[in-house]
Amino acid sequence: MIRFIIRRREHPIPYSHASLISIFVSILISLAILTMFGINPVIAVWEAFIYPLISGYGWSGVLRNALPLLLCGIGLIIAFRAGVWNIGAEGQMLLGAIVATWIALYFMPDKPALIVIPLMFLFGFIAGGVWGLIAGILKSKWNVNEVLTTMMLNYVAYQLVYYLVMGPWQDPVTNYPVTRPFPPSACLPKISRTFPVPIPTLIIGIFSAFFVYILLLHSRLGYEIRAVGSNPDAAKAYGISYEKVVMIAMFLSGGFAGLAGVNAVAGAIPAQLRRPEQVSRGYGFIAILVAWLAGLHPIAAILTSILMGIFFIAGSSIEIIFHTGVETTNLFIGSLLLVLSVAETLRHYSIRVKFTSSLFKISKESSGE
Amino acid sequence: MQTRTILSYILIGIIAAIIGSGITYTYVTSSVIGPAPMAFKAAWIYVGPIGDYGWTHAHDVGRRYVENKFTWLETTYKESVTAEDFRTVVEDFINRGYKVIFATSFEFLYPSCELAKQYPDVLFFHCSGWNIYLQGEQPSNLGFYFAEFYQLYYLNGLMAGALTQTGKIGYVAAHYIPEVVRHINAFALGALEAAKYLNKNITVYVTRIGAWYDPDTARNLASQLVSTYGVDVIAFTEDSPAIIQFCQEQYEQYGRLIYTFSHYSPMYDYGPDVVVSGQLVHWEKIYEDIITKVYTGVYNKDNLKDSVDYWWMLREGAVELGAKFGMPINPKFESVLKEITFQIDEKLEAELQAYGMQDVIKVVNDKKYISIYDLIMLRLKQMSDENPTFDPFTGPIYANNGTLMVPPGVRMNRLQLWTINWFVEGVVVIGE
């Protein structure tokens, strides 16, 4: 007879260990699934994960995918640390993209880049923040479930972008559902033509990660955010304003997603607003995984977002080489999500399997060792 | 076991896997005999899945044709690529030794132009774009090709106009780019011409999806056209047979006959009771021509801008009228179209005589009649001619706001057709 003994660990396994094991196990699972489809896993690992990276050309794609994930991810880390479940990074990103487009094409199409680009990021942050703040206010004032509101606000943002690109902002030359290309002053400068990673976003991304690290772990506001996140009632008892913290957390969370939205339009080639699914591209959802995989630590999010970027490139390469359809990237990310969810439980609980010699012998032991 | 111990095992495992895969792979690839020196590799970038059974499927048929035909050619593809992913995918191909890139969507126009500048040694061929959109920025290693359907849409329009009972015809468009507007207009011109001969009142209701591949929205819009606007013919520009399946279901479940047309791929099998005809493509003709000329050096990185601009139609055999290949009109409807007759004037009689078709004229009480089917066959011959003697975009053509856009007797030129952004009279655009 088999017995499972589940015990709560006195000291949970650190996030870093759980994450590393999850990454390893999930890659093994993904490769096992690919093997079942007749793909040689050795060639897959070499061709998809190693060759693009050691020969260098894969890195620009990795970073172009990692940057929006990093920005959305560190935003989510703020919200999650405050115990607010922001699922709306997609919508907040799109609002940032809309405002950046408005500035680039209609508000100041003829101003120099040094004015336009900072303003796009500033107002993109505010726009994404306000979109997040709507859910924040609803939660703090009337205790409306923020999972539902942020999720539903995503769809509002999707439809808003659809309306703009198929209506008033549609490209008049081709009638295609995209806006006109931005003027050169509103296009983010790239590292080089062969390595088209937007420099402003790269700087803002890394700077934001450190900024959020200091904010969360070495400031009064960060202390309040963490206090509300771990125990709202205790935080209230200590005189921390729950309402204020939730609203600030949602504003900042949405703001960083908004920055990713600015990058998605102004950093694209050509720079323009497109249909919503081509702007947010699911980054807002995958960023949830980035945040959790980083153990809600902003600096670690740099590494986890790069890892997701590698998954994007590797998935694409496997699709190119083995013609596996379009789901290979999702296979990697999906198995990682699954394994990480299991690991989150195993961090806190240990499971032992015991084989007892007889079916009829009823163990008198307690559930201890 | 300590977690630290587990971690060190994992680390060793990862390193071993990397080294092992490298050694194995080097061994595997080095044992393969290298290709002939003139051989090259070409990659196709698709906007939708091959299984769409429409646009992308038709391109893949063309790709497989040249792959099988030329032993020195190696091809590959990537499905469902978005404009944002285009760069990543193409760079991956180029770094794996692909020298020829076929970008098969309008979405890839600007990214193709940008990448062609960045990789001047790679040959880029973009399907459905044209230099006017690039405003003089076209690099020398980027060429264009397209198999144009407007002649076939016009013929389908003749059938639609003859068959409709309600006088209301629907069109589900992907986008309102000039390519699709041109097709809608050609379809409407055909329907209106048939209406003129048969004394009908016809309106063409047009609506759009906003995406090339979106079967669900296409279905919903088709359903809306039927229930709200009472159309009994639906043509479409969408990359799947979703609308044909919808029409077939309406026929099977409610006995409601909604005529429709195959688009790009032979979709007859999805709706044998509803597909009248359609517009089919032979991309392989264009691909064969391009690949051969690249192989022989006629096309090279310095002359694509000036020499590659395919705009192939019936004359070149790049397109075919049909519900499926070899079936121009579904036999179920062919007899119907042969029974719909109308009185002809002297001009049409002369045109029939010029193509040796005077036998089809039936004389009743000194009046001369032909059927719609005969008219379709005449137009098909005229447009397949070496110098087409008929073009649907010949004036007088009025826009749907009543303005005369093309004076009588004038044929629209290619620039006008490639920038067309107005709808002909009889077209009602829904929801704009």
Inter-chain residue contact B78 with A21, CB threshold 8 Å: no
* CA dihedral for A278, A279, A285, A288, sign (positive or negative): positive
* Burial of residue A162, with CB atoms counted within 10 A of its CB: 0-12 exposed, 13-18 middle, 19 or more buried: middle
B17 shares contact with chain A (CB less than 8 Å)? yes
Q: What superfamily would CATH give domain B40-147+283-307?
A: Response regulator (3.40.50.2300)
* Chain B partners within 8 Å of A181 (Cβ): 110
Q: Which residues contact A72 (CB under 8 A, 6 or more apart)?
A: A89, A93, A256, A257, A260, A283, A284, A287, A290
Inter-chain residue contact A316 with B92, CB threshold 8 Å: yes
* Amino acid type, B41: K
Residue-level pLDDT, tens digit, chain B, 432 residues:
465 666 666 666 666 665 665 555 555 444 444 444 578 999 999 999 998 888 999 999 999 999 999 999 999 999 989 888 899 999 999 999 999 999 999 989 989 998 999 999 999 999 998 888 887 789 999 999 999 999 999 999 999 999 999 999 999 999 999 999 999 999 999 999 999 999 999 999 999 998 899 999 999 999 999 999 999 999 999 999 999 999 999 999 999 999 999 999 999 999 999 999 999 999 999 999 999 999 999 999 999 998 899 999 999 999 999 999 999 999 999 999 999 999 999 999 999 999 999 899 999 988 999 999 999 999 999 999 999 999 999 989 999 999 999 999 999 999 999 989 999 999 999 976
Q: Are A150 and A288 in contact (CB under 8 A)?
A: no
pLDDT at A177 over 50: yes
Q: What is the pLDDT of residue B13?
A: 66
Inter-chain residue contact B20 with A42, CB threshold 8 Å: yes
- Give the separation between CA B261 and CA B346, rounded to whole angstroms: 32
Inter-chain residue contact B87 with A313, CB threshold 8 Å: no
Angle (CA) B41-B44-B45 rounded to 5° is 140
Of A13, A43, A317, the CB nearest to B3: A13
Angle between helices A283-293 and A298-322 (to 10 degrees): 120
Q: Are B193 and B157 in contact (CB under 8 A)?
A: yes
pLDDT in tens, A205-220: 999 999 999 999 999 9
Inter-chain residue contact A42 with B83, CB threshold 8 Å: no
CA distance A100 to chain B (A): 18
A351 shares contact with chain B (CB less than 8 Å)? no
Give me the helices (H) in B76-213, please.
83-95, 109-118, 150-163, 178-198
Which of these, B45, B57, B29, lies nearest to B94 by C-alpha position? Answer: B45
Angle between helices B372-384 and B150-163 (to 10 degrees): 170
Structure tokens that stand for A60 in this block = 């620009």
Question: For residue B12, what is the nearest residue in chain A, using CA coordinates?
Answer: A24
Q: Which residues contact B178 (CB under 8 A, 6 or more apart)?
A: A174, A175, B417, B418, B419, B420, B421
Cα A260 to Cα A93, A97, A263, B421, distances in angstroms: 6, 8, 5, 35
Half-sphere exposure of B421 (CA within 13 A, CB side): 8
Question: For residue A314, what is the nearest residue in chain B, using CA coordinates?
Answer: B92
CATH 3.40.50.2300 assigned to B155-279+330-429: yes
Q: Residue window 311-330, chain A: list those with CB within 8 Å of chain B.
A: 312-313, 316-317, 319-320, 323, 325-326
Phi, psi of A354 (to 5 degrees): -120, 135
Q: What is the pLDDT of residue A194?
A: 84
User: What class does CATH assign to A40-323?
Assistant: mainly alpha
Inter-chain residue contact A325 with B79, CB threshold 8 Å: yes
B175 shares contact with chain A (CB less than 8 Å)? yes
Inter-chain residue contact B7 with A193, CB threshold 8 Å: no
Which of these, B49, B77, B92, B56, lies nearest to A327 by C-alpha position? Answer: B49
B12 shares contact with chain A (CB less than 8 Å)? no
Inter-chain residue contact A46 with B25, CB threshold 8 Å: yes
Which of these, B231, B217, B132, B133, lies nearest to B175 by C-alpha position? Answer: B217
Of A177, A269, A316, the CB nearest to B89: A316
With H, G, I as helix, E, B as strand and everything else as coil, classify residue B241.
coil
Structure tokens that stand for B83 in this block = 């404009």
CB pairs under 8 A between A and B: 110
Residue ranges covered by each domain of chain B: 40-147+283-307, 155-279+330-429
Q: Residue window 199-238, chain A: list those with CB within 8 Å of chain B.
A: none
SS3 for A163-203, per residue?
Answer: HHHHCCCCCCCCCCCCCCCCCHHHCCCECCCCCCCEHHHHH
Inter-chain residue contact A175 with B91, CB threshold 8 Å: no
B41 shares contact with chain A (CB less than 8 Å)? no
B29 shares contact with chain A (CB less than 8 Å)? no
Q: B411 forms bridges with which residues in the sheet?
A: B394
Query: How many other C-beta atoms can be found within 10 angstroms of the C-beta atom of residue B5?
Result: 9
Please give the helix or strand (H or E) that residue B281 lies within, else none: strand B275-281
pLDDT in tens, B345-385: 999 999 999 999 989 999 998 899 999 999 999 999 999 99
Residue ranges covered by each domain of chain A: 40-323
Q: Are B122 and B95 in contact (CB under 8 A)?
A: no
pLDDT at A118 over 80: yes
Q: Confirm whether B40-147+283-307 and B155-279+330-429 share one CATH topology.
A: yes
CA distance A175 to chain B (A): 5
Q: What is the CA radius of gyration of chain A?
A: 23
Q: Are A115 and A132 in contact (CB under 8 A)?
A: no
Which of these, A219, A50, A166, lies nearest to B217 by C-alpha position? Answer: A166
* Chain A partners within 8 Å of B211 (Cβ): 275
Which of these, B73, B118, B31, lies nearest to B301 by C-alpha position? Answer: B118
Q: What is the pLDDT of residue B29?
A: 47
